[in-house]
Amino acid sequence: MGGAKAGRMLTATGLMSLLFLSIIAPQVAALGGEATIESASISIALSPQIETASFSYTFDVEEQSGQSADVTVHSTLSTIAGVLIESINESRTVAMNGVESFSVTFSAVPFGYSIVETTLSGDAGLNSSTHVTSFNRTIQRMVPLDVSLAEGGDFTFTSIDATGLMTGNLTVNDGDHVAIQLPILNNGDYDWNGTLSASVTSGSLNEWINTSNVEVLAMSSTVVTLNTSIPMTEGLASLSVALNDSGDGDASDESRLVQFTIAPPPLPMLDGSIELVTQAYNAGDVLDWNLTLYNNGSRDYSGDVVCMFGQITALNQSTELAIGGTSILAFTTQARPAELSCVAQGMRLSDASTFPVSVDFNVVSAIFEAAGSTTPGVLDGPWHVGDSARFSMLVRNHGEIQGSIALECTTAQAVYTSPTLTLDVDAAGEVSVIVPMLADGDQTIEWRLVSSDGSVDEGLNGSVTVPVAAKQVLTPKVESVTWDAEEGVNMDWSVTLGEGVDRDVRIRIGYFDSGDTYLLDYTVVLTPGITSDSLHLGFVNADRVSIRVDAMNWSEAFGPSSDSKSVPSERPVYSLVMSELASPSRPSTGQGATVQVTISNTGNADGIAGEILLLGEDRTLYGTQSTDALSVGESKTMSFTLDWPEGTRVKLEAVWTVDGDQITALGSFTSADAAVVEDSFTIPWVGLFGGVALAGAILAAVQIRQKQGLTPSKKSKTPAKLKSNSKSEATDEKIQVGCPECARQLRVPASYSGSVRCPDCSNRFDVEGAPAEEEDEDIETVEEPEEEPVDEKIEVSCPECSQSLRVPSSYAGSVRCPACEHVFKAQG
């Protein structure tokens, strides 16, 4: 027992030692149960990828020998290089044939690759195909997306041509295009695909370039090349480039602003020297010069070479000079003190050129200075476009010999030089030049004193500003045109001269018929403003009146101008009508009678006064009357009283003299000396009874009629008396006969046979009736009034002359116009 106890104590002591040793040396076999890690229970993959700093895994420890086992699990997190990052130990007792589950969590897993290792110590068993006492895994913590542009210093700029081919230039020169290489870095563990935008600015040109589908794999870089389509300009150019929203959360490294230098283009490098060829000379003589040029640059020269001798251009010549070439240019000047300076124009030169070159030339000569103001005076203002300004200056020769001087003025259009003035030593004089002002606004005129044989003091050149107003406007206008029957055509006119100075103007005023006829043509000085007047043209045959104005020795705004207006077309229209009846209606020869005429103005203008003459058929003047002016639409009837002339039919003519015209009207009147056939006829009593018996019968008839008019109750007795005194009764039946000339219907007794005369056409013709007791005799349209109601009279117009006539309403025969003697049907 004691030995057993001692053995157990020894065993316990040994177990403690073994346990201690198991901690130090896990490979030492356990003295208790046999615990191992079940391989299938390990939750960690062989090469896991994680995104966070925390990492956890689990596994089971199983006892396989039938005894409990005391074990310790030791887990570590280390770098690939073996540097310990984190360590975790956990001890447990695993019951016989039991299983214990372990969980390990590391909280500081670094980015990139790390090694996780777990070792079982204590009562650990042996490794098998299904169980192990330790295991390790490599884990990868994924680095987040981290895309960035390289620093500006890593960008490269290469010279290319317009087609994108490299030029071979070591630098990008003026005029070249540029290829830009941009590195893009991806320091994350995720691929990136996106867009790049760039803006290139050089000189005044700018270009935007967008590149899509730019791909950068994880933990790698790529280079994007951008080719510009704009040429570069010498100096600093700028590039602004940015990645479009990479999504890595840090945009500070995703855009860059870079400046790069554009070198000058290949340039010619000119060197030159001036040589005076002439050996002997005096002031004013011609000098011969040679200019020698060398091109030591990297490009041919093609441009102008200009040499100035003082203010005078001595040489201006187009020159081409190849690389390494030489050229000699010859020119002449006049001998006078001045600086000769030569420059190259039209092409840029290298800064290493020794051009331009200059030399000072001296000779005894005249020397000119200002004798008064050091700037020329400007005279004859104020000025408008088209006017001329006179530049004048006093100068003095304070040199050693006689010399000549002139004033030169230069405008935007031309150079104007005064006549040359020759001055002796210490003499003074005036130089002046006329310069036209061809534009409005403030005109800057460059001026200088020039001399071909002398020098001019410093400062005798410069510029003068001349204020020039716009051209003055000259506007003629016909204000109004009137026509008056008394005076004819009158016009009011005006001419407006715009603001400025007084001007000479030619004015022409007249009218237009088949061409222009000017009644006034004169030149006058107008002041700015409106000048107006009136002109009486009188009775001219004109459609329009006009005014024309022309500037005399100056330039007006719109050139010669004119204006016109139509002459009013309103005129009076005169008419003259003579009444068809005289008063009395059938005057006797020598009897005082009155005829009437009516004058009218049917036009659309008032008339003027005139005069009417009343003439007979033989042009005898029977009367004259003045007529007043007739207003529009006014008519007036005038009466003439005259001793009635002889003749059975009297013709009169009225002549109205008005407004330079003569208007006539004719009238034909029947005198009492002629019998007139009216509406009915009676037997001619003179032919039946003759002499005194006829007169007694007529007197008895007249008395009977008068009594009948006074005592109507006795009316029935009168026919009985008349019947007893006459074989032909007044109630004899009437018949109608037609005039064979004009078809006028005449009423004659049925028993009458003989001649009758038509009252209209005066035609005589025979009629036959019942036999009569008295001898047939010619009768002149004698009619007997009947005791019938008088027909109402109506007016008809002559179709030939429009004369109005009054005829019975029931009459359908023909009538003769008393004015023109035209025969026409009264009705129908």
Q: What is the pLDDT of residues 483-508, one digit of tens each?
A: 888 888 999 999 999 888 899 999 99
pLDDT of residue 79: 92
Strand 383-384 relative to strand 461-469, pairing:
parallel
Beta bridge partners of 455: 367
Per residue in 791-803, pLDDT tens? Answer: 567 777 888 777 7
Give the integer Cα–Cα distance in Å for 313 and 622: 102
Q: Decide if pLDDT at 301 tops 90.
A: yes
Q: Provide the token pair at 729.
A: 């009764």
- The DSSP 8-state label assigned to residue 166 in this structure reads B
Q: Which of 141, 145, 180 is nearest to 159 (CA)?
A: 180
Per residue in 216-264, pLDDT tens? Answer: 898 899 999 999 999 999 899 999 999 987 777 788 888 999 999 998 8
Q: Provide the token pair at 51.
A: 């995104």
- Which alpha helices (H) appear in 353-510, and where do they start and end? none
Q: Which of 56, 137, 62 is nearest to 103 (CA)?
A: 56
Q: Decide if pLDDT at 356 tops 60.
A: yes
- What is the mean pLDDT of the segment spanning 554-571? 85
Host H or E run for residue 317:
strand 312-321
- What is the mean pLDDT of the segment spanning 469-489? 89
Give the integer Cα–Cα distance in Å for 681 and 784: 5
pLDDT of residue 732: 52
What is the distance between the terminal CA atoms of the chain, rounded to a whole angstrom? Answer: 189
Which pLDDT band holds residue 746 (cuts at 50, 70, 90)?
confident
Kindly write down the DSSP assignment for every residue of 171-222, as one continuous string: SPBTT-EEEEEEEEEE-SSS-EEEEEEEEEEETTEEEEEEEEEEEE-TTEEE
Q: Decide if pLDDT at 547 tops 90.
A: yes
- What is the mean pLDDT of the segment spanning 261-275? 90
pLDDT of residue 781: 42
Residue percentage of the chain with pLDDT more than 70: 83
Which pLDDT band holds residue 812 (cuts at 50, 70, 90)?
low
Give the integer Cα–Cα distance in Å for 532 and 527: 12
Give the CA angle between residues 353, 354, 358 to the nearest 5°. Answer: 145
Give the integer Cα–Cα distance in Å for 567 and 483: 7
Give the integer Cα–Cα distance in Å for 332 and 309: 10
Q: Decide if pLDDT at 731 tops 60.
A: no
At position 484, the amino acid (one-letter code) is D
Give the integer Cα–Cα distance in Å for 423 and 400: 11
Per residue in 679-729, pLDDT tens? Answer: 444 444 344 344 444 444 444 444 444 444 333 333 333 333 333 343 334
Q: Which of 243, 255, 249 is nearest to 211 (CA)?
A: 243
Exposed / middle / buried, residue 1 (Cβ in 10 Å: 0-12, 13-18, 19+): exposed
Q: Provide the token pair at 532.
A: 């107006």
pTM value is: 0.43
**CB contact at 8 A, 111 and 90:** no
Q: How far is CA 572 from the centre of its chain?
A: 48
Give the integer Cα–Cα distance in Å for 495 and 476: 4
Q: What is the mean pLDDT of the chain?
A: 82
Q: Is the peptide bond before 476 cis (omega within 30 degrees of 0)?
A: no
> In 3-state terms, what secondary structure has residue 63?
strand
Spell out the residues 6+ positions from residue 569 whose beta carbon is closer than 8 angstroms to its own.
none
CA torsion sign for 139, 143, 145, 149 is negative
pLDDT of residue 760: 66
Q: Which of 663, 606, 658, 660 is nearest to 634 (CA)?
A: 606
- What is the mean pLDDT of the segment spanning 15-30? 41
Which pLDDT band holds residue 404 (cuts at 50, 70, 90)?
very high
> In 3-state terms, what secondary structure has residue 341?
strand
pLDDT of residue 436: 93
Q: Decide if pLDDT at 743 tops 60.
A: yes
Per residue in 278-288, pLDDT tens? Answer: 988 888 889 99
Q: Decide if pLDDT at 370 tops 80.
A: yes
Q: Which residue has the higher pLDDT, 513 or 200?
A: 200
Strand 134-141 relative to strand 49-50, pairing:
parallel
pLDDT of residue 475: 92
Exposed / middle / buried, residue 702 (Cβ in 10 Å: 0-12, 13-18, 19+): exposed
> Strand locations in 587-726, DSSP E?
592-601, 610-616, 621-627, 635-643, 649-658, 661-670
pLDDT of residue 307: 95
Which pLDDT band holds residue 525 (cuts at 50, 70, 90)?
very high
Q: Which residue has the higher pLDDT, 93 or 789?
A: 93
Give the integer Cα–Cα distance in Å for 250 and 265: 41
Give the CA angle between residues 263, 267, 268 to the nearest 5°. Answer: 160
Per residue in 38-71, pLDDT tens? Answer: 999 999 988 898 888 899 999 999 998 889 999 9
**CB contact at 8 A, 172 and 161:** no
Per residue in 698-707, pLDDT tens? Answer: 444 444 444 4
- CA distances for 720 relative to 410, 714, 725, angstroms: 132, 11, 9
Q: Decide if pLDDT at 673 tops 60.
A: no
Kindly write down the DSSP assignment for every residue of 99-151, as one continuous string: EEEEEEEES-PPSEEEEEEEEEEESB----SSEESEEEEEEEEPPPP-EEEPP
**CB contact at 8 A, 126 and 36:** yes
Q: Which residue bears the tokens 């204590």?
A: 122
Residue percentage of the chain with pLDDT more than 90: 47
- What is the mean pLDDT of the segment spanning 117-146? 91
Per residue in 573-597, pLDDT tens? Answer: 999 999 988 999 899 998 999 999 9
pLDDT of residue 819: 66
- The DSSP 8-state label assigned to residue 239 in this structure reads E
> In 3-state terms, what secondary structure has residue 275?
strand
Q: Decide if pLDDT at 16 tops 50.
A: no
Q: Decide if pLDDT at 745 tops 60.
A: yes
Q: How far is CA 100 from the centre of its chain?
A: 100
Q: Decide if pLDDT at 773 tops 90.
A: no
Angle between helices 718-725 and 691-710 (to 10 degrees): 170
pLDDT of residue 585: 86
**CB contact at 8 A, 734 and 783:** no
Q: Is the peptide bond before 183 cis (omega within 30 degrees of 0)?
A: no
Low-confidence winner among 2-11, 325-334, 361-370, 806-815 (lowest mean pLDDT): 2-11
Give the integer Cα–Cα distance in Å for 231 and 203: 9
- What is the mean pLDDT of the segment spanning 760-785? 54
Per residue in 168-181, pLDDT tens? Answer: 888 898 889 999 99
Give the integer Cα–Cα distance in Å for 715 and 751: 26
Q: Decide if pLDDT at 267 tops 70.
A: yes
- What is the mean pLDDT of the segment spanning 4-32? 41
- What is the mean pLDDT of the segment spanning 183-188? 89
pLDDT of residue 666: 93
- The DSSP 8-state label assigned to residue 323 in this structure reads T
Q: Decide if pLDDT at 424 tops 60.
A: yes
pLDDT of residue 663: 93
